Amino acid sequence: MLDVAAVMDWRFTPVEQAYTRRDAMLYALGLGIGAEPTDPRALRYVYEDGLIAFPTMAVVLGNPGAWTRDPRTGIDWVRTLHGEQGLVIHAPLPPEGRVVGTNRVTGIIDKGPGRGALLMQERELRDAETGALLAVRSTTSFLRGDGGCGAPAREQPRPPAIPDRAPDMVQEIATRPEAALIYRLSGDWNPVHADPAVAARAGFERPILHGLCTYGIAGRAVVATICGGDPARLRELHVRFSAPVYPGETIRVELWEAGAEWRLRARVPARDAVVLNNGRVVVA
């Protein structure tokens, strides 16, 4: 069972990571950018002449590794799901450089015996040379096997509601059949995204796309629509994962204007499946 005190007091060593222009291009290719190789709006992410990093790449840098598998945490890591993902961007990510990720646990919510628990984490990503804050990543994990752990049984923050009307903007993005095999080269080696046998044991008909790849594809839609093609305008992107995507499927990203913010939902129309929900977007 999850050791609440041990996890809340977990000490993370700052993670310094160097990444290259090749890494930035590979990340973008993993999101499907470059499927139209003569489009100059795509080439800037996948071609070295004038290269820029796609902003959601910040979520894959400074990772502390699979620390929840450490027996001292008591976490039933096999039954852990990625529940929510957020990113607040403070400065554009350079196309190459060195960054430092500072990770911490920000909270645990016990949903009760048999109902699981929620684990909230935060990561500050800073430029290793200057110390400038580049981004803050927030993550909520659903620990299905750790309900009744004794953490405070407080209410989970209520997610932003999706308006009950037609979306103001829609962007459809087709994923490629080999998308997961490319995206995993950015650091997520979980075999459920590559090995059909492992995917079958996990209950899937075939390997699934990484949740953070679906997240990055939602970022593509936001940049292309709300941001008018300017990635520097993206300030915040927060989503709740609700279902997996299979590589090769088309994702329909729906956006609603909500005052100073936007709401986001993503679905796979072919299966009528909502894959991202209760999204919140802030742009400059």
User: Which residues are the active-site residues?
Assistant: 188, 193, 208, 211
* CB contact burial 173-212 (16+ within 10 A = b; e otherwise): bebeeebbebbbebbbeeebbeeeeebeeeeeeebbbbbb
Q: Is 112 exposed, middle or buried (0-12, 13-18, 19+ CB in 10 A)?
A: exposed
Q: How many Å apart are CA 32 and CA 48, to the nearest integer?
A: 17
Contact 208, 244 (CB under 8 A): yes
